[in-house]
């Protein structure tokens, strides 16, 4: 039985505003799309919270047995204006005396380096907006053909009022069109629009705009919202399973995505919307525009606080809060997380060479330990509840430390449960939560696990349980460990 059947996943769906049982369109395949960074400057730790959240989701879905296609884009062109109405990529290019695509490449490389530092797995596909200009023009034309957009002065604008009359606008964010109209303000290009709510699908490029492409409406560049509508459905289908991103993207970006997809194909693009909440500093949202963003370098090299912190301590700090809640970052909070992560690592190190002593097992404690191991998955399957899963890991660490410190007998757990604990405790930390464990103990851990498996196989052979002995041998071979039986006993070789 696959783990996704044993531990069925529930997700809080931002569209329905309730927790729902997760049922992929085509089990066991899952389509996951996450909005990536706009590559005109460094990502900060607030940005990384969203990416770490969906890295854990990707890891956990894969661990449950799903075949996941994870698409995370890079925004390297679009209607990305700052408060002065200037394109951010072009502004950065001028400041750094670089070509726009040099800026894009520089900060794409930076983002990838940071992802490696924080141990994020690479996505299955990482498309860019500039590589999908043709598809964006095609979608804009489809929306025009459906009467949901119009051309004005070489730009193409989405007609929000026309869409609202036919399909209804605001379902994801819960915003009403009347309220949006009353709160709208004068923005760049407003004179070209029929309504201040309309947004650009394609923007006419002025003579100063370097990044430009030919289109049926003249030379220009795509609107920001259009790229995600195009790339998500190109690689995952017109309707796919999960779309993730930061809470600040729910409106207008994700709301506009929904409208574009429905207008062009008639299909709602996403079944489950997930949004990671904000990281705050002294209760205020962290952002570059507010000047309170904490850079990655300030955290891991020192500068913002009185000392530096490791990437894994910061990752652990972020996972100690549910992804949907706001988190206030402070030096004391990261220090507390650092101590907690070290406590789990110490329990893991104690497990490496822990052997069961002779004596009668405490079957009540044994059953409770197995239940705790299952409970980790139960919590993770409950809307990716990492803080509760981590709390269960601390309970397991208490048991390990009690055995290590001889507060309870070394025979308390059965061989089967101890073996499972030794295998699953680090797997949960590393493979699912993505926390790199201390490298100095890695080889000792591997040797300890292999010696344990060899003892189990030898005991099976002594008991003439050759089926179990062969099963252990074959499973180790599949994992890259070949056993060699000889006159001096059994030896192993890593392939």
Lowest mean pLDDT among 20-24, 30-34, 358-362, 473-477: 473-477
Mean pLDDT rounded to a whole number for the chain: 91
Residue 440 pLDDT class (50, 70, 90 cuts): low
Q: What is the pLDDT of residues 299-314, one digit of tens each?
A: 999 888 999 999 999 9
Q: What is the pLDDT of residues 227-278, one digit of tens each?
A: 999 999 999 999 999 999 999 999 999 999 999 999 999 999 999 999 999 9
Rounded Cα–Cα distance for residues 474 and 481 (Å): 9
Domain stops at, among 276, 296, 312: 276
> Is residue 415 situated within a structural domain?
no
pLDDT at 466: 84
| Contact of 280 with 326, CB cutoff 8 Å | yes
Q: Which of 376-385, 455-464, 465-474, 478-487 has the highest mean pLDDT?
A: 376-385
pLDDT at 279: 94
List own/partner pairs for 292-296 with CB under 8 A and 24 or more apart. Answer: 293/44, 293/45, 293/46, 294/44, 294/45, 294/46, 294/329, 295/42, 295/44, 295/45, 296/42, 296/43, 296/44, 296/45, 296/48, 296/114, 296/117
Place of tokens 């970006």: 253
> Is residue 209 situated within a structural domain?
no
The pLDDT of 204-219, averaged and rounded, is: 92
Q: What is the pLDDT of residues 67-103, one digit of tens each?
A: 999 999 999 986 666 666 677 888 888 899 998 899 9
> Is residue 43 situated within a structural domain?
yes
Where residue 64 sits, what CATH number does that domain have? 3.40.50.620
> Is residue 355 situated within a structural domain?
no
Rounded Cα–Cα distance for residues 98 and 24 (Å): 44
pLDDT at 170: 96
Tokens of 51: 């990416």
| Contact of 242 with 71, CB cutoff 8 Å | no
Range of the domain at 30: 3-151+160-177+222-276
> Is residue 321 situated within a structural domain?
no
DSSP states along 429-490: IIIIT-PPPPGGGHHHHHHHHHHHHHHHHHHHHHTT-HHHHHHHHHHHHHTTEEEEEETTEE
The pLDDT of 186-192, averaged and rounded, is: 62
* pLDDT over threshold 70, residue 17: yes
Tokens of 344: 């789990």
pLDDT at 49: 97
> Is residue 212 situated within a structural domain?
no
The pLDDT of 409-425, averaged and rounded, is: 96
Domain stops at, among 239, 258, 276: 276
* pLDDT over threshold 70, residue 469: yes
- How large a percentage of the chain has pLDDT more than 70? 92
> Is residue 344 situated within a structural domain?
no
pLDDT at 290: 74
Rounded Cα–Cα distance for residues 244 and 33 (Å): 6
Domain stops at, among 276, 305, 321: 276
Tokens of 174: 């819960």
For 442, residues 6+ apart whose C-beta sits below 8 A from its C-beta are none
pLDDT at 155: 96
User: How many separate domains does the chain show?
Assistant: 2
> Is residue 325 situated within a structural domain?
no
């Amino acid at each position: 039985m696959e783990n996704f059947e044993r531990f069925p996943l529930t997700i809080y769906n931002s569209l329905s505003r309730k927790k729902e049982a997760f049922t992929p369109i085509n089990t066991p395949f899952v389509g996951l799309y996450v909005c990536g960074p706009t590559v005109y400057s460094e990502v900060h730790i607030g940005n990384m919270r969203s990416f770490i959240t969906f890295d854990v989701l990707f890891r956990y879905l894969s661990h449950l047995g799903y075949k996941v296609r994870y698409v995370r884009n890079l925004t390297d062109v679009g209607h990305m204006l700052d408060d002065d109405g200037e394109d951010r990529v072009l502004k950065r290019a001028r400041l750094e005396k670089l070509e726009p695509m040099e800026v894009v490449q520089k900060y794409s490389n930076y983002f990838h380096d940071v992802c490696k530092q924080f141990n994020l797995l690479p996505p299955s596909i990482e498309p860019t907006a500039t590589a999908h200009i043709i598809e964006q023009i095609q979608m804009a034309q489809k929306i025009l053909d459906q009467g949901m957009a119009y051309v004005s002065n070489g730009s193409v604008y989405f007609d929000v009022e026309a869409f609202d009359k036919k399909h209804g606008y605001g379902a994801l964010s819960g915003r009403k069109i009347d309220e949006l109209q009353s709160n709208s303000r004068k923005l760049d290009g407003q004179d070209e629009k029929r309504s201040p709510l309309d947004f650009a699908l394609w923007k006419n490029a002025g003579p100063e705009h370097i990044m430009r492409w030919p289109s049926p409406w003249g030379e220009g560049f795509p609107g920001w919202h259009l790229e995600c509508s195009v790339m998500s459905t190109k690689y995952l289908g017109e309707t796919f399973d999960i779309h993730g991103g930061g809470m600040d993207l729910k409106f207008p970006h994700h709301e506009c995505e929904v409208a574009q997809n429905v207008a062009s194909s008639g299909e709602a693009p996403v079944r489950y919307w997930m949004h990671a909440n904000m990281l705050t500093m002294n209760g205020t949202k962290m952002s570059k525009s507010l000047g309170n963003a904490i850079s990655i370098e300030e955290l891991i090299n020192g500068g913002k606080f009185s000392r530096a912190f490791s990437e894994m301590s910061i990752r652990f700090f972020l996972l100690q809060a549910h992804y949907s809640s706001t988190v206030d970052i402070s030096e004391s909070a990261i220090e507390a997380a650092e101590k907690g992560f070290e406590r789990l690592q110490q329990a893991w190190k104690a497990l490496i060479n822990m052997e069961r002593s002779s004596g009668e097992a405490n079957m009540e404690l044994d059953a409770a330990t197995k239940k705790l191991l299952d409970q980790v998955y139960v919590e993770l399957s409950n809307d990716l509840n990492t803080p509760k899963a981590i709390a269960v890991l601390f309970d397991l660490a208490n048991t390990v430390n009690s055995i290590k410190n001889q507060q309870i007998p070394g025979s308390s757990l059965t061989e089967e449960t101890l073996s499972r604990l030794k295998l699953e405790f680090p797997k949960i930390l590393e493979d699912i939560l993505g926390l790199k464990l201390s490298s100095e103990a890695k080889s000792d851990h591997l040797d300890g696990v292999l010696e344990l498996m060899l003892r189990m196989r030898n005991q099976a052979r002594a008991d003439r349980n050759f089926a179990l002995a062969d099963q252990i041998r074959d499973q180790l071979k599949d994992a890259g460990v070949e056993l060699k039986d000889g006159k001096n006993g059994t030896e192993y070789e890593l392939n």
